[in-house]
Amino acid sequence: MKLATRNNGTRDGQLVVVSRDLQWMEAATGIAATLQEAIERWDETQPLLLSRYRALNAGETARAIPLTPDGLLAPLPRAWQWLDGSAFLTHGERMQQAFNLPPIEGVKHTPLMYQGCGDDFLGSQQDILCADEAWGLDFEGEFAVLVDDVPMGCEAGEALAHVRLLLQLNDVSLRALAPREMKTGFGFIHAKPSSAFAPVAVTPDELGDAWHAGRVDLPLTIRRNGEPFGNQPGIGMHFHFGELIAHAALTRRLRAGTLIGSGTVSGQDPAKGASCIAEVRALETLAYGAPRTPFLRPGDKVFMESRTRDGEVLFGAIKQRVVIATDKDNRL
């Protein structure tokens, strides 16, 4: 099943069911007004949404309208809780080697995770706003899961049963602001502005056997200004999503609607590129002694997309442009 949120002028938008081919959508009228409502009553809403999804795919509804990605918000426009992991150890190892960062104790046994700003997610085609190019604007291609209620102390093996939807995102980062915040030990505020999400969230069964061992076994294709940048697969997670959920729920329950990200998709094969500029700069530093690839600049375009093994677009595409915000009106 595929779901999205149409921009109806409200902050939480209107929940819509999307056809498998991403060509049509139909409002979830009478089932749930928003995705947050649907996930909170999932046992009740899931069968009804699935029935509408099947009818939409079969062309058995007169209420379908064409899907227009620019008219959609993020699938969950704002979340009660947004937690992002760093489950691809290759990414962290390259950053440490290139920039002489101290090793993190227990990194192979305990997931890294930060709490980001979940109150203002960007839609797939909204501009990336940055007030100062010197802040080191970067993209990070990731996958994420949306869970229902998770009890405190939930074990990793049980945690995967709480995954209701999968998403794809661009976790925007400001690299020049991150080092100082990391040293404080209090987590990111300035270095992690609003993340952007692909337009459609999907149930795990839509991936078939590509949803494997709590991981998305599909490549995430990234282009910068139309040029290939990365095509790393999501199977390389050291910690699978069940382990990330269990880590987050160790001392507290997670309420329905919590989003948990994988961290930057990364892999051992450098021929497949990378999912963020910082990792490419790390590889360049290791190879040449200094980075060569600049961070994002005004006017740059970022494209992210994941396809099934049959070549079908899964979540829809992220298509963003970088805009330097020069006044308060542009930042609202």
pLDDT in tens, 275-307: 999 999 999 998 899 999 999 999 999 999 999
Which residues does residue 233 pair with via DSSP β-bridges, in sequence order?
219
Whether residue 327 lies inside any domain: the answer is yes
Residues 6+ away with beta carbon under 8 Å from 113:
83, 84, 85, 86, 244, 247, 248
**pLDDT by residue (tens digit) across 198-234?**
999 999 999 999 999 999 999 999 999 999 999 999 9
Structural domain includes residue 250? yes
Residue 76, helix vs strand vs coil: coil
In a domain, 245, yes or no: yes
pLDDT value, residue 327: 58
d(CA 50, CA 58): 12
Same domain, 157 and 101: yes
Range of the domain at 64: 2-71
Q: What is the mean pLDDT of the chain?
A: 94
Query: What is the SS3 assignment for 40?
Result: helix
Residue 54: enclosing H or E segment and its boundaries? helix 42-57
Domain match, 124 and 53 both: no
Shared-domain flag, residues 208 and 320 = yes
Shared domain for 90 and 59, answered yes or no, is no
Alpha-carbon span 131 to 261, nearest angstrom: 25
Which positions ≥6 away from 11 have C-beta within 8 Å? 77, 78
Q: If pLDDT is split at 50, 70 and 90, which confidence band does 98 have?
A: low
Is 85:92 a contact under the CB 8 Å cutoff?
no
SS3 140: strand
Are 20 and 100 found together in one domain? Answer: no
Q: Tell me how far apart the alpha carbons of residues 249 and 150 are, in angstroms, rounded to a whole number.
A: 7
| Mean pLDDT score, 45-69 | 97
**Spatial contact of 160 and 147, defined as CB atoms under 8 Å apart:** no
Domain C-terminal end among 71, 95, 129: 71
Q: How much is the pLDDT for 108?
A: 85
Domain shared by 45 and 118, yes or no? no
Statement to judge: residues 287 and 158 lie in one domain: yes
> Global pTM?
0.95
Domain-embedded: residue 123:
yes
CATH number of the domain encompassing residue 86: 3.90.850.10
C-alpha of 303 from chain center = 13
One domain, residues 57 and 92: no
User: Where does a domain end: 71, 106, 130?
Assistant: 71
User: Does residue 77 fall inside a structural domain?
Assistant: no
For the segment 169-200, what is each residue's pLDDT rounded down to a tens digit?
A: 999 999 999 878 877 878 888 889 999 999 99
Domain boundary (71, 104, 131) is at: 71
35 phi/psi in degrees, rounded to 5:
-65, -35
> Does some domain include residue 66?
yes
Total domain count, the chain: 2
Whether the predicted pLDDT of 149 surpasses 70: yes
Residue 108 in any domain: the answer is yes
Question: Looking at the structure, do residues 199 and 254 belong to the same domain, yes or no?
Answer: yes
Radius of gyration of the chain (CA): 19
Indicate whether 76 belongs to any domain. Answer: no
